[in-house]
Chains A and B, each alone.
Chain A
Amino acid sequence: MSAKVLVVDDSRAIRQLVGTALLQAGYEVIEAEDGQQGLSTISTDRDIAMVICDVNMPNMNGLEMLAAVKAQANNSALPVLMLTTEGKADLIQQAKRCGAKGWIVKPFKPDQLVAAVRKIVGS
């Protein structure tokens, strides 16, 4: 069975690009449009193996979602990779402290993203 990856981004274009790359690499992909929807999806879907998450989003941003996910006892080990236009070192450190698995600055290369996902959840 392929691993299920949740892509959380308010940009449909980015969700489509990430989704296509991961589908072609053999992963199952589901999507959410903001942190609030992402958190809700994570809370109800026990099969999610990994989350790829934007930072600047409406309703709930990615760092808020990350903190909320890590505060849930049954999701604290869920790997979260941040994918964002933000590149400030203090934000990256904040994500690391909150338990993120990594950080990619947009725009990204699909091959690079797939390699990171493979490293985190396996093929």
Chain B
Amino acid sequence: MSESTLAHGQDEEVRQVVTEACVDMLGACGLPVGRIAAGRLVALSEHDLAGFIGFSGRVRGSLIIAASSRIFAATFPTMPGSRSPNPDDLLDWVGEMTNQTLGRIKRRFCARGLDFDTSTPTAVKGRHLGARTPTRDGIVDLVLTAGDELVSICFELVPPAAGPIFQGAVEAIPCSQEGDLVLF
């Protein structure tokens, strides 16, 4: 069996986790999100920013989010009185947004008893980012709609050498949720 194959028929569960986390992240940024059917080819020529973050542990892999700068500008966190983001701010936010999305994936994995350590994110600016074909086993490839724009997501997971990704008998790993605050 290929190392990157999502074993034990859990590829759909991983896809569901990644989709939920990405929809949740974009939705929290105020964007109405929909999903385009897996495998459908879409025009990604306007994707000029992409964020990348890796993770390792019992499973390892990476998350890439690519979209147009308009999407990242629309999701940039602001509050009254803060200045508009410049191109460097946007590039930074691409990495941070990818980081926060992986955080959401990680919490969903923890609920299934599986943890991993994350790297620090990086971001790139270019042209036609996110375009890839054909897809490989072990990769969750998603295209979401956000308003009139498209967001391309690529989540690669290398499962453990033996056994399923999520083990049914394993307890959830205790985890706080987004926005939780605890003072000691």
Contact = CB atoms under 8 A, between A and B. Distances in A.
A17 B181 CA distance: 17
Interface in A1-58: 10-14, 16-17, 20-21, 24, 56-58
Interface size class of B (residues with CB under 8 A): 35 or more
Interface size class of A (residues with CB under 8 A): 35 or more
Interface in B100-143: 100, 102-103, 106-107, 110, 115, 118-120
Contacts of A112: 179, 181
A34 to B, nearest CB: 9
B76 interface: yes
Interface in B141-184: 173-184
B184 A106 contact: no
Interface stretch (B5-13, B31-39, B41-49, B84-92): B84-92
B181 A20 contact: no
9 contacts: A16-B82, A87-B110, A87-B177, A92-B182, A101-B184, A102-B183, A105-B178, A110-B79, A112-B179
Given A16-B83, A17-B82, A87-B110, 6 more contacts: A12-B89, A92-B182, A104-B182, A105-B103, A105-B180, A106-B178
